[in-house]
Structure 1
Amino acid sequence: MDRMLYVAMNGAKHVELQQSTTAHNLANVHTNGYKADQVAFRALPVVGDGSPTRVYQVDHTVGHDLAQGSLQQTGNERDFALSGEGFFAVTAPDGAEAYTRDGGFVLDEAGVMRTRSGLTIVGDGGPIAVPENSRVLIGRDGTVSAVPVDGGDRQAQVVGQIKLVKPGARAVYKGEDGLFRLSAGGVAPQDDTVKVVSGALEASNVNAVESLVQMISHARHYDLTVKLMQTADQNAQRATQLLSMG
């Protein structure tokens, strides 16, 4: 009885963790460039006395869904998205290089390009600085050009190139801050096959309807494990009564 109760309790615990992951994905359905977390159940054998066929389930993180979200045309020259696989590089809060698909930029007081969350966008030689009173144009290859908005000379000047990388789905992991990093450490090389779409943003790849269905499924699974715990408790009480009568 104790083992049955433990297996049911363990199942309820991990269903609750799955529900938390699904809820987190659903909460980010409108977060630009967000990639859904993925989890699954796996069976592990119960160690100890008893039947070797006994197993219990655990929540197993299998990674993230890197499928591209829909591209939404905004017409804003300070918005950009990536077409196809890949990421662009940013400087994480800890100073290390990290990767994201949440495009769009602002210029700080020094004219340095940053994401709207405040992270410095990495260029081919470091941060990308744009001269004052300039219009910023981003090419398909990530080239950043500055065009003066006043004065006689309106010639576009290349001021840098956004670092674009394509390390592959299995080579990266997603941190708690939502940024991707190389699993083996280090930095990814520039990849010229990654293309930029200016004037657009990539939406989250979370399917809201599918996530809601998953939440309902998790809730039903949780209820089932709770009923199993109640059944195990009732059986234990009846067994105790029979032993007392004997």
Structure 2
Amino acid sequence: MDRIIYTAAGGAARVLEQQAVISNNMANVSTTGFREQMAIYRSVPVEGQPGLPTRVSTATATSSSNFQQGVMAETGHALDVAITGDGWFSVQTPEGEAYTRAGELAVNQDNLLVTQQGLPVLSTDGAPVEIPDRGSVTFSSDGQITALGAGDNPSDIQMIGQLKLVNPPAGGMVRGDDGLFRVAAGQAAQADPQVRMVSGFIEKSNVNPAEAMVGMIANARRFEMQMKVIQDASTNAERANSILSSNG
């Protein structure tokens, strides 16, 4: 079979992969702190005897993310927090420490500070943050947590810990199947005292819905073009076989 079919089929496969990535981005337009996923590909020359300099195939080069900050939305909720600029919140997962920009926090039945997925948020000492029973919580810009217990006087406010805010190099971060990020080397990132946050706000997804929709339409057209190439190649092969048969 002519190599053009393999080339076009490879291109179509890459388009389908990118369409899946864009569809996932569209599904997370409203997900707090979501980072747009990006599919990057590179051209690969088709080698053979003789060489085919006019034909190229494609291969997945890397799956990366757009780390640009999303829009900040004010909620007024005491447990809603957002990082300003670069940085991440640290959370505990069954697979170890992970990082997220989603700051819609809550207090679970064990009085632990957790994410909306129920993952404990970590303090600078690497432990979950325990909140006093029915206590009101406030956060400072560097992640320090103070709480006032139910019925306590304002003078009884207590310092209960500090959120572990990290800022590892973006190039060393990998996205897991759970949507959380981890350091590629598998190590826990060190707390960064330069990271700043604000309470009463959440960071929205950084996916641009209009751009994602345009990307989906463009991908659909690319896929149609690849299929047209395969169809034309098949038609040309049938015609060639017909001519050879008639001459025979």
Match of 2:45 in 1: 45
For residues 192-227 of structure 1, give each alpha carbon's deviation from its aligned partner in whole angstroms, at most 9, with x where no partner exists: 111111000000000000011111110110000000
Q: Specify the SS of the correspondent of 2:121.
A: strand
3-state SS, counterpart of residue 145 of structure 1: strand
Cα distance between partner residues in 1 of 2:169 and 2:105: 25
Distance 2:37 2:153 in 1: 51
Q: How does 1:93-104 map to 2 (within 5 A)?
A: 93-94=94-95, 96-104=96-104
Correspondence for 2:186: 185
Distance in 1, matches of 2:62 and 2:243, equals: 44
Task: Say whether residues 1:9 and 2:4 are aligned partners.
Answer: no
**Which blocks of at least 5 consecutive residues in structure 2 are unaligned?**
none
Give the equivalent residue in structure 1 for 2:210: 209
For structure 1, the residue ranges without an aligned partner over 5 or more in a row are none
**1:197 counterpart residue number:** 198
Residue matched to 1:32 = 32
Which amino acid counterpart does residue 21 of structure 1 have in structure 2?
Answer: V
Output the CA distance in 2 between the equivalents of 1:63 and 1:186: 19
Length, aligned pairs only: 245
Contact 1:38 1:62 in 2 (8 A): yes
Shift of 1:11: 0.8
Alpha carbons 1:90, 1:97 under 8 Å: kept: yes
> Between the two proteins, what is the percent identity of the paired residues?
37
What residue is the counterpart of 2:82 in the other structure?
Answer: 81
Provide the rounded CA distance (Å) in 2 between the counterparts of 1:87 and 1:151. Answer: 32
Q: Normalising by the residue count of structure 1, what TM-score does the alignment of the two structures yield?
A: 0.96
Q: Is the 8 A contact 1:112 1:129 kept in 2?
A: yes
Instruction: Quote the offset at 1:154 in angstroms.
Output: 4.7
Tell me whether 1:106 sits opposite 2:106 in the alignment.
yes
Q: Distance in 2 between matches of 1:199 and 1:3?
A: 58
Structure 2 match to 1:61 = 62
Q: When the two structures are superposed, what TM-score results if normalisation uses the length of structure 2? A: 0.95
In 2, Cα distance between the equivalents of 1:138 and 1:88? 13
The separation in 2 between residues aligned to 1:13 and 1:208, in whole angstroms, is 24
Output one character per residue of 1:171-194: Cα deviation in whole Å (capped at 9) or x when no partner: 211111111111112111110111
Match of 1:241, SS state, is helix
The CA deviation at 1:168 is 1.6
User: How large is the RMSD of aligned CA atoms in angstroms?
Assistant: 1.3
